[in-house]
Amino acid sequence: MFYWRSSTPDDSGGPAVDLHFTGRSAGLGSGAYAGLNLGGHVGDDVADVEGNRVALAHEVDVARERLLFMNQVHGCDVVEVDAPWDGEAPEVDAIVSRVPDLALAVLVADCVPVLLHDADAGVVGAVHAGRPGMVGGIVGRAVDAMRDLGATSVSAAVGPSVCGRCYEVPDDLARAAAEAAASSVARSWTGTHAIDVAAGVVEQLAAENVAVQWVPGCTRESGDLYSYRRDGRTGRFAGVVVRRGAPS
């Protein structure tokens, strides 16, 4: 089920932060969605998607209603979460919380999933950073929102995404990305303009004094991950962060 996972305790050995990036194995999906598709907006069978979400909630040890997905819109809005959604998920691309045992999730199939955490302060966040979000500064906004909740030492796990060699774009989009983060400049396998969104996100996190753990993997090159650029019709994998322990 998991492509990568880790756990980070606070300095006193108290409440931990659990970090997960799922893969596409061990799920109910079939055909284009074979495996653990968690995306409910991509044409997969609704019951299969919900079954996969229930299984994921079990594996990260939260009740299903406490596994929170966003309605991602490639924007730069961030919201604080203090309870399970009451109705539809909001149209945002980052959520932050200091409430224990809420699993904050981000869905991707080429974009950059970012899991933010400060175990000592008990603050976590999940960010969907595609090209528009990176250009718009979504990760900086999410870090600011965490600091508003008391975070003082933010770290990030940056998950697998499409690499610069595989993300060919028109010249104008490449220029806009370079203006937002110089390290996003890339060349495709054929020498054309390309963007390394993850490199840009890492640069932006470093500028915010955020410690980064960058999980390797290109979605387009790895059959263990869903990739829209590779397959078109496909599922979504997730990044999930959970703060453990009693409320402060």
Q: Which two tokens stand for residue 186?
A: 């890339």
In a domain, 13, yes or no: yes
Domain that holds residue 117: 2-243
| Cα–Cα distance for residue pair 46/31, rounded to 1 Å | 14
CATH of the domain at 144: 3.60.140.10
The phi and psi torsions of 85 (rounded to 5 degrees) equal -60, 140
In a domain, 78, yes or no: yes
Q: What is the pLDDT of residues 175-211, one digit of tens each?
A: 999 999 999 999 999 999 999 999 999 999 999 999 9
Our separate counts of H helices and E strands in the chain read 6, 13
Strand partners, 115: 126, 157
Q: What is the pLDDT of residues 13-45, one digit of tens each?
A: 766 999 999 999 889 999 999 999 999 999 999
What is the value of pTM for the model shown? 0.96
- In the chain, the number of structural domains is 1
Asked if 24 contacts 237 with a C-beta cutoff of 8 angstroms, the reply is yes
In a domain, 248, yes or no: no
In a domain, 221, yes or no: yes
| Cα–Cα distance for residue pair 115/97, rounded to 1 Å | 12
With the CA atoms of 134, 140, 142 and 143 taken in that order, what torsion angle do they form, in degrees rounded to the nearest 10?
Answer: 140
